[in-house]
Structure formats: C-alpha cells, structure tokens
C-alpha cells in the first residue's frame, strides 16, 4: 500500500493498568473507508480516541507508541492538540449537538479558528449542511435549537460540524447505530461520497454495513489486531480463524429456516426482487434462507432486506462461489 494517510506504530493503551490496546501496527489508507470491526470491549473506540488525542482527556489512560499523519507524530508532546483535532475529526456514537442553534453548531468550529465574516460563515454552514445531506431539511429553521432535531438529523449535523473545520481525516464511531435503516443509508451514502476528499475510519458492529462501505478492514479482538487488509480479502478469504468466526458469527444462534430459495445465477437486482417476493409469503418472525452467488448480492441482498425493515440474521460463505443470507421477516 503506497498511499498511507495514518501510520500507527507500536500503539499501546491502558486504563488504570488494564491493557486496552496491545502493540498495534497499522497503516490506514488515504481517501478510502477503513472499517474497524470486533466485539464489544475490544478497543475500537480507544483506537479512534487515540488517533485524535481525545484519549488525553480520560483519567487513568496511559498511551505509548507513535501515530504518524503526514510526517507528524500526533502522539508527540510537541504537537498542538487543537490543530491535531482540527485535522482529525471524530464523530461519536451518540450525536452530541451543542446547546445552540443549528447554524451556530456548524459555525462554531470555523469561528474558533478565526472565521468572522458573516458571508463566509453563511457559505460554510450551507455547504457543510449540504454535504452532510441535511440542508433541505433545515434551511428554513437554521436558528432553531439543534437539540430539537431527530437523532438521525443530529447525527448528520455532527457530521456537518466536523466538516466545517475542513479536517483531513474523519473518524466515525458507530455513526448509524441509533438510526433507522433509511437514516443509516443516508449516512452511508454521505460517507461514500466523502471518501473522494477525506480519509474515513468507521467503527461498526454491523458486518453488513462494513461489507457495504469498507475498502479496508481492521479486525480487533481483546485489544489485539487480529487481521487487516483490503475488504474483499478479509471478508471473502479471511486469513485468521478468529476473523472468519467473527464474520460468520453474525449468525448468532443457528436459526430455524422456514423457507429456502436458491438464487444462484440470478444477477442484481433480480436476486433481491425474488428474495422480497419470497418474504411476502412468510409470516412475521419466519426465516428465509437465500443462496446467492452473484458477487454484489452478498452486500446488496442484505441491504435491500434491511431497507425494507427485515432483520438480516447472517451472511455466510458456503464455498468458493456460494453465500447464504438468512433473513427474518419483520414487517
Ligand atoms: N475510561 C475508561 N476507563 C477504564 N476502562 C476503560 C475506559 N474506556 C474503555 N475502557 C476499557 O477498555 C476496553 C476497550 O474499550 P473500548 O471502549 O475501546 O471498546 P469498544 O471496542 O469500543 O467497545 P464497544 O463496541 O462496546 O463500544 C474495555 O475493556 C473497556 O472496559
Ligand atoms: Mg466503542
């Protein structure tokens, strides 16, 4: 990989003597989406908070190692933390708008960094809200309190707020975990558009989301880096058994299948049209197993089913070409 944005070199983090990250070596590619996956407590948030030095604010946290961004070691005491956080924005799992208007939330960062001209601020606020996909919903109430927005809108507002200081890297900690499928898709689409200009690191518990978004995947387990590599390799041919188990483990308990259909040979979108039709004949709660072999079906069938409000219980590779997608009818 020759186009590296962030180089993490020997990173160790502990909280009150308990190790949270152990000897992490990792290169994060420039202008791509890197997804960090792994079970709860494995250190995903700790890794993001280390990258933009927010970890400095946590009592008892000890951090050792180097994180290089463009020739600067962000861990060095000589680096200015405010400018690091300007270059590396973090959007946390729970949207946290500031207790002020929608406009002021977005203008807050640019004002701190010296932007005073009203016209320039207006332009920045508008373009960031547009990029975050929120402008049309809020353009007539920019002065109303941000806390009145829905959670999905608040999440996009926080994205706009991060963009307003023109970061180079966007760290997103489970940005859609509190959102409905439509709002999640909205954010996912934004992230895909944004990778033209930004390096994006996203933490997600949703394997299907990681499959949809990621160019590069990092699997953490109990504070250790188990595997990392291009998404196509990690998802389709994981090198480590633990990674395979985690990906396949999205089928948590082996569900009873009520109906099975074989859609091998069917291309997108025919395969999800057939899957939808099969679900229509099921009762709520019943489970459909779909066998697919068309490469994009692995991500598109689960996405279409989640979009319709059904629950995807698992996606599993069966052999070199075939995958099964297990869907529970919800609506
Ligand atoms: N402020 C803290 N003080 C003490 N221990 C902490 C603190 N923050 C995190 N930890 C511990 O560090 C480990 C890694 O936590 P982290 O929040 O990074 O995990 P995570 O992978 O983001 O989990 P989740 O998926 O549940 O968000 C956990 O064992 C957690 O209990
Ligand atoms: Mg976390």
Contact call for residues 251 and 328 (beta carbons, < 8 A): no
- Could you identify the residue written with the tokens 């000897």? 23
Intervals of CATH 3.30.110.40 along the chain: 259-328
* pLDDT beneath 50, residues of the chain: 1, 251-253
Distance CA 185, CA 191 (A): 10
Intervals of CATH 3.40.50.300 along the chain: 4-242
Does residue 41 have its Cβ closer than 6 Å to ligand 1? yes
The C-alpha R_g of the chain, in whole angstroms, comes to 21
Out of 13, 43, 94, 176, mutate this one to test ligand 1's pocket (max ligand atoms within 8 Å of CB): namely: 43
Out of 36, 39, 42, mutate this one to test ligand 1's pocket (max ligand atoms within 8 Å of CB): namely: 42
| Count of Cβ atoms closer than 10 Å to residue 242 Cβ | 16
Q: Report residue 239 CA to chain centroid gap.
A: 22
Q: What is the pLDDT of residue 18?
A: 95
158-185 per-position pLDDT tens digit: 999 999 999 999 999 998 887 777 778 8
| DSSP state for residue 101 in the 8-state scheme | B
Task: Decide yes or no: CATH 3.30.565.10 for domain 4-242.
Answer: no
Distance CA 230, CA 218 (A): 9
Q: What is the pLDDT of residue 122?
A: 97
Per CATH, which fold does 259-328 belong to?
Translation Initiation Factor IF3 (3.30.110)
Q: What is the pLDDT of residue 115?
A: 94
56 CB burial (10 A radius; 0-12, 13-18, 19+): middle
The rounded Å distance from CA 206 to ligand 2 centre is: 13
Backbone angles phi, psi at 11, to 5 degrees: -85, 125
Does residue 135 have its Cβ closer than 6 Å to ligand 1? no
Token pair recorded at residue 63? 């951090």
Please identify, by atom number, the ligand 1 atom nearest to the C-alpha of residue 220. Answer: 21
């Amino acid at each position: 990989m020759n186009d590296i944005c962030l180089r993490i070199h020997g990173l160790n983090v502990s909280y009150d003597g308990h190790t949270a990250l152990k000897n992490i070596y990792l290169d994060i590619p420039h202008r791509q989406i890197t997804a960090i996956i792994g079970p709860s407590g494995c250190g995903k948030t700790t890794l993001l908070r280390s990258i933009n030095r927010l970890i400095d604010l946590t009592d008892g946290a000890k951090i050792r190692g180097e994180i290089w961004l463009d020739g600067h070691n962000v861990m060095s005491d000589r680096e200015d933390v405010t400018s690091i956080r300007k270059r590396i924005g973090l959007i946390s799992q729970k949207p946290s708008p500031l207790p002020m208007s929608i406009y002021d939330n977005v203008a807050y960062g640019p004002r701190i960094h010296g932007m005073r001209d009203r016209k320039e601020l207006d332009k920045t606020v508008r373009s960031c809200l547009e990029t975050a996909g929120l402008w049309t919903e809020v353009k007539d109430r920019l002065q109303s309190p941000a806390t009145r927005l829905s959670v999905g809108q608040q999440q996009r507002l926080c994205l706009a707020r991060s963009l307003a200081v023109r970061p180079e890297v966007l760290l997103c900690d489970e940005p859609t975990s509190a959102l409905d499928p439509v709002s999640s898709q909205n954010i996912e689409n934004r992230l895909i558009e944004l990778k033209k200009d930004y390096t994006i690191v996203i933490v997600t518990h949703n394997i299907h989301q990681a499959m949809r978004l990621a160019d590069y995947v990092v699997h953490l387990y109990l504070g250790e880096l188990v595997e990392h590599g291009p998404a196509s390799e990690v998802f389709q041919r994981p090198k480590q058994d633990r990674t395979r188990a985690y990906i396949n483990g999205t089928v948590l308990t082996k569900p009873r299948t009520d109906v099975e259909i074989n859609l091998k040979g069917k291309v997108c979108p025919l395969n999800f049209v057939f899957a939808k039709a099969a679900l229509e004949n099921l009762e709520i709660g019943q489970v459909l197993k779909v066998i697919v072999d068309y490469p994009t079906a692995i991500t598109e069938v689960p996405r279409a089913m989640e979009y319709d409000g059904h629950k995807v219980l698992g996606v599993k590779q069966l052999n070199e070409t075939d995958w099964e997608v297990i869907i529970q009818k919800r609506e």
